[in-house]
Amino acid sequence: MADLLLALDVKGKTEAVRVANACTGEVDAIKIGYPLVLSTGLGIVKDLTNAEIPIIADFKVADIPNTNTLICEEVFGAGCSGIITHAFCGSDSLAACVDAAHDHGGVCFVVCEMSHPGALDFLSGDNAVRMAEMAKAAGADGIIAPATRPERTAMLRGVIGDAMKIYSPGVGAQGAQPEDVKKYVDGIIVGRAIYEATDPKAAAHEFRVRAR
Ligand code: BMP
């Protein structure tokens, strides 16, 4: 049984609030990232938290520890409850994000293997295993692993154990189905298949039911 996270990669406040309001009650969290925040500013978090849904900032943080800490302070200060970071900058950079998240009562998720075909160039294989081990050692709350490669996500579950969560993108527009991964993960991430749907609420409802 997996939660449903809406990847709200729309542009502008009007569209973001329209989709978020439509999906209220059907999604367990909203993931925001550069497309939305660069088009609206971080103030969009307050507009979305009116719906009282947890907001996770997918900024795939990847810098030196001090810069990572500064980014996290802005994210959690704006009202987000989670941050998604990369691990490839090293254990000190990763620790900065985990520590900042926990200092603010939030959660930190670590990208280990990505869902798109190009992930096979670097963000996969032994590198993914190593980053999952780094995420566990850093005390991260969970990892990001691909619904498009369920066997890899199952393997990464074995690396991190059951105490950490896995959120899994790739369902819908990228071709994966909720049934492919729901037994391995705690949440599926769906973007275009919901926010581009004629009826986002109905689409979210269907994904939520299928993820259960
Ligand atoms: P969509 O369902 O429209 O493909 O959106 C997927 C979302 O998950 C996007 O926000 C994307 O940036 C994110 N994502 C992904 O697709 N694959 C990954 O490996 C990691 C991601 O964060």
Tell which atom from ligand 1 comes closest to the C-alpha of 31. 10
Question: Rounded mean pLDDT of the chain?
Answer: 97
Summarised one tens digit per residue, pLDDT across range 139-186 is: 999 999 999 999 999 999 999 999 999 999 999 999 999 999 999 999
Q: What interface predicted TM-score (ipTM) does this complex get? A: 0.99
Which residues on neighbouring strands pair with residue 168, listed in sequence order? 188
Q: Distance, CA 6 to ligand 1 centroid (Å)?
A: 10
60 is known as an active-site residue: yes
Tell which atom from ligand 1 comes closest to the C-alpha of 172. 2
Q: Distance, CA 103 to ligand 1 centroid (Å)?
A: 27
Classified as helix, coil or strand, 184 is: coil
What is the chain's alpha carbon radius of gyration, rounded to the nearest angstrom? 16
Summarised one tens digit per residue, pLDDT across range 30-64 is: 999 999 999 999 999 999 976 679 999 999 999 99
CA-to-CA dists, residue 189 to 1, 9, 41, 43, angstroms? 14, 12, 22, 23
Q: Which of 11, 13, 31, 60 is catalytic?
A: 60
The pLDDT value given to residue 49:
73
| Residue nearest atom 21 in ligand 1 by C-alpha distance | 169
pTM for the structure as a whole: 0.98
| Residue nearest atom 8 in ligand 1 by C-alpha distance | 169
